């Protein structure tokens, strides 16, 4: 990912665990699908005089907190921008560390996520990935495919423009093969050719670190999403930060080009103490 939101899905052997207090995030007008651009690992480390890798390691703990809080809040889909197609341009030593952290994360957390009922789905270009990384991604999906809890979508080697180009090629191949009429290609047909086929579009996109750009993240799917840009660096992300973002989302009226109903379709309106504390 551009910026510092890379490979925060890795970490120590502590693993992902369910919350001890059984609490959840604010649920006013709860978005069905939340997508997160995890930015600020490097800056977090730099401000503390630490190596960048330490920022990535601490970013892992933020991933665990985010996944747990989102699941407890009742969010159906959580998409995390883990590693972008552009992140390969980083120094090879940093990329190597990120891949190592990914492997450690899968080894330490996959079974815990499975036991928590989390379903994992991977989006992004798998062509050219090393056999060990590709195997890890496939293992995550296979192990959790039958779970019916929150769907955790990991965007790995992902780029929005690249995804759209892949979808266009798939449709072009079907047209060339005579199995698809050009006139049959509409928005629904095109969406079905994307990596995210079968998933609802994001209702809310969160970006940490104070940066206000989308960085090639889900451009097709986020056409009508609400964006919340937070000043917090990703390693500082926790349940309270998610609560602020959800409270901001709840204050907005989604119109989708029309006059709007004031309540996002598919959302729930629940007044909770934590939501009120977050400013709802």
C-alpha 92/C-alpha 84 separation (Å) is 15
Positions marked active-site: 39, 87
Identify the residue whose tokens are 């690992």.
Answer: 41
């Amino acid at each position: 990912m551009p910026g510092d939101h890379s490979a925060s899905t890795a970490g120590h052997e502590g693993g992902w665990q369910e919350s001890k207090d059984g609490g959840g995030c604010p649920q006013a007008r709860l978005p069905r699908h939340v997508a997160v651009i995890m930015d600020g690992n490097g800056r977090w480390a730099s401000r503390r005089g630490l190596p960048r890798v330490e920022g990535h390691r601490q970013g892992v703990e933020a991933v665990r907190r985010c996944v747990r809080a989102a699941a407890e809040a009742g969010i159906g889909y959580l998409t995390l921008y883990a590693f972008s197609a552009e992140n390969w341009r980083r120094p090879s030593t940093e990329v190597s560390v990120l891949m190592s952290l990914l492997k450690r994360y899968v080894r330490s957390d996959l079974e815990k996520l499975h036991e928590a009922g989390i379903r994992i789905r991977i989006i992004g270009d798998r062509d050219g990935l090393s056999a060990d990384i590709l195997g890890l991604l496939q293992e995550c999906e296979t192990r959790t495919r039958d779970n019916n809890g929150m769907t955790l979508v990991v965007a790995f080697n992902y780029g929005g423009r690249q995804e759209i180009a892949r979808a266009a090629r798939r449709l072009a191949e079907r047209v060339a093969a005579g199995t698809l009429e050009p006139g049959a290609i509409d928005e629904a047909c095109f969406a079905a050719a994307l990596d995210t086929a079968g998933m609802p579009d994001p209702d809310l996109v969160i970006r940490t670190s104070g940066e206000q750009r989308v960085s090639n993240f889900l451009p097709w799917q986020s056409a009508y999403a609400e964006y919340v840009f937070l000043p917090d660096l990703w390693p500082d992300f926790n349940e309270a930060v998610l609560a602020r973002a959800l409270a901001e989302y709840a204050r907005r009226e989604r119109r989708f080009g029309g006059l709007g109903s004031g309540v996002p379709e598919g959302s729930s309106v629940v007044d909770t103490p934590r939501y009120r504390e977050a400013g709802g």
